[in-house]
Amino acid sequence: MAIENIPEIYIKDSTKNSDLFVYDFKMSNDVVKSKVNLGMNMFSFLQVGKKQVHFSGNTVAVNKDQSLLLKKGNWLWTELLDTETIYYCKLFFFSEQKLTDFLSKYTNNVKPYKEEVPYFVIENDDYIAAFISSLSSKAFEKNNYSSALLSLKFDEIMLYLLDKYGNPFEYYLHALISKEISPFNSTIESHINSNLKVEEIAFLCNMSLSTFKRHFIAAYNSPPGQWFQDKRLQKAKVLLQEGHLKPSDIYLDIGYNNLSNFSTAFKNKFGINPTEISN
């Protein structure tokens, strides 16, 4: 699957100031684990549909009653239609320079915490709903004062969220410009129990598949496919031994697309069928 460079693919005139950019995104088909190189920090104001983002360390899912602030980086996006026949969200991009200017003007020089968290989930309220309604790419396309208006809109939402969430949001904003990429080992071990493919984890590590495999073997003395399978099967065995779950309850979470493949791999690893443990 090709990598999408966002927001570059949405910008028609590359000569314009790119510190702030609004884009109305619509689609009529589900997209699962699309590889995205997000070149700017971004608000995702979801209007219709569901959104899930896989990061190097974790995953977050939001619905239309929430908004998402994302740090720039390599992420996997899943965007799904809901009850409607269209997926629609408003994207508001901002540069690190714009964020730095805002922080120096309105906040203290704090030391951020939770630097590994690349997102902030926002619970929408009436004020945020009104703000989203006022935010449209068409409203700024032909306006002579579009740059000034966007700057005001950026300050508006940032100041409102600072007031709404206080210190946690302020610390998160400082963390956006304090760290670029999570460590290799942290990325690997945070996805032991995920159902991401090896090539998808390599992407989250900002590596080609061949480079990722080379680094992985050097770090873990094992090919990544075999290592992840062993770790996930060990996790499956523990879950089944606890007696609360059946193989059909866990195979997807362990990284298998169907129960048959999971059962075969489990038996090859432990010499018994998973149903023999869960019964």
pLDDT at 236: 87
Listed as own residue / partner, the contacts of 55-58 with beta carbons closer than 8 Å and 24 or more positions apart are: 55/118, 55/119, 55/182, 55/204, 56/118, 56/181, 56/182, 56/186, 56/187, 56/190, 56/204, 56/205, 57/116, 57/117, 57/118, 57/182, 57/186, 57/187, 57/190, 58/117, 58/190
What CATH number does domain 184-278 carry, 3.40.50.150, 1.10.10.10, 1.10.10.60, 3.30.930.10? 1.10.10.60
pLDDT tier for residue 257 given thresholds of 50, 70 and 90 = confident
For the cut 80, the answer to whether the pLDDT of residue 212 exceeds it is yes
Q: Who wins on pLDDT, 24 or 243?
A: 24
What is the location of CATH 1.10.10.60 in the chain? 184-278
CA 255 to chain centre: 19
Q: Who wins on pLDDT, 162 or 108?
A: 162
CATH number listed for the domain at residues 4-176:
2.60.120.810
pLDDT tier for residue 125 given thresholds of 50, 70 and 90 = very high
The pair of three-digit structure tokens given for residue 105, joined into one six-digit string: 């003007």
Closest CA to 226 of 208, 213, 239, 211: 213
What is the location of CATH 2.60.120.810 in the chain? 4-176
For the cut 70, the answer to whether the pLDDT of residue 110 exceeds it is no
Whole-model pTM: value is: 0.68
User: Looking at residues 252-277, what average pLDDT do you find?
Assistant: 86
Q: What are the DSSP calls for 191-217, one per residue? A: TTTS---HHHHHHHTT--HHHHHHHHH
CB 22 within 8 A of CB 135: yes
pLDDT at 180: 44
